[in-house]
Amino acid sequence: MAIYLAVCMIWLKIYIAFASVLKNESCIDGVTIVLSFGLYQNSCPEAEPIIFSWVEKAVSDDPRMAASLLRLHFHDCFVNGCDASVLLDDTANFVGEKTAAPNLNSLRGFEVIDAIKADLEYACPQIVSCADILAVAARDSVVLSGGPGWEVQLGRKDSLSASKTAANNNIPGPNSDVPTLVSKFQNVGLSLEDMVALSGAHTMGKARCSTFSSRINGNNDPNSPDINLEFLQSLQQLCSQSNSNTTLADLDHMTPSMFDNQYYINILSGEGLLASDQGLATGNDRTREIIQTYVDDPSAFYEDFKNSMLKMGSLVSVSSGGEIHRNCRVVN
């Protein structure tokens, strides 16, 4: 493990040292935000190593944290772009996104982001945005879980506002069918292919019984080739306990803390935990075809996941111009 983490750090430093000058510009509502590789190489060269160090500690203390940090980035980017609005706390005069249905009692890892931000503010005040921290921490979480690495484009700004309504409406739900998933991804500029690749993030993490109740309480046809009765019965037994409101199940019961292609193997075996997961194999010929490709060729999944993460991470839409938050929980 120590050798693996050492290799991760060497890989990270090589990325920083030989960062590309390629840029990605987005102009939304008259505001141009330029993302580029290696942005902090001169202004805050320790930025990415600091983030990696904190994520490494967090994942070492709690392997589930890798999935949680990756999920924070997803839920941020699906609401008006990757602008760290998901991190803002409610105040007497401000309603954030943390109490939206997809986030309440579900998102976690905020204290890890707080620690990273405090360390970065000490090393290089008001240089690294909270939105960039989320993007880098998501990448590092995948790497530390055995998945692929990629160079993260940087330069996002932190939002001065948030939208609980958009969080409720934009973030795909656990019971979504394929047309709904495709629509929600397309609404933010992501394709069906991106949707299937990014769904592979569910190869890590856990979910509450309430999020997959439709899988175990629905009218499942026992004669359907896509129904795995033994798997569903195991879930029913798990969620029949008195504390089922807080009971958690692994999204990937085979390799729950590893970033691999097992999620897709599970789906083809009828062992997708969420209805939205299992639906990818049963609700659309194209999504099933992609899943089969990822089962046969894990490297194809890794490559597509990296590209789709970069595409999602480039969704920047801070209409007011944004800022660099000193504290990720509040505007300056």
Q: Name residue 27's beta-bridge partners.
A: 32
81 is annotated as contributing to ligand binding: yes
Q: Name residue 33's beta-bridge partners.
A: 26
202 is annotated as contributing to ligand binding: yes
157: number of Cβ within 10 Å: 23
296 is annotated as contributing to ligand binding: no
Spell out the residues 6+ positions from residue 222 whose beta carbon is closer than 8 angstroms to its own: 229
Extended beta strands in 104-246, E state: 206-208
203 is annotated as contributing to ligand binding: yes
**Left, alpha or beta for 220 (phi > 0: left; psi -120 to 50: alpha)?**
beta
Instruction: Based on the residue annotation, tell me whether 75 is a catalytic residue of this protein.
Output: yes
255 is annotated as contributing to ligand binding: yes
Per the residue annotation, which of 73, 75, 253, 325 is the catalytic one?
Answer: 75
User: Helices in 178-329 by DSSP H: which ranges?
Assistant: 178-187, 192-199, 213-217, 229-239, 262-268, 275-282, 285-296, 298-313
What's the start-to-end Cα distance of the chain, in Å?
40
172 is annotated as contributing to ligand binding: yes
Q: What distance in Å separates the CA atoms of residue 329 and residue 332, rounded to the nearest whole number?
A: 10
CA angle 305, 136, 116 (to 5 degrees): 150
Spell out the residues 6+ positions from residue 18 whose beta carbon is closer than 8 angstroms to its own: none
CA angle 190, 196, 201 (to 5 degrees): 100
Spell out the residues 6+ positions from residue 69 whose beta carbon is closer than 8 angstroms to its own: 55, 58, 109, 112, 113, 134, 137, 138, 140, 141
213 is annotated as contributing to ligand binding: no
Q: What distance in Å separates the CA atoms of residue 161 and residue 110, rounded to the nearest whole number?
A: 18
Residues within the annotated binding site for heme b? 202
Show which residues are catalytic.
75
Residues within the annotated binding site? 76, 79, 81, 83, 85, 97, 172, 202-203, 252, 255, 260
Residues within the annotated binding site for substrate? 172
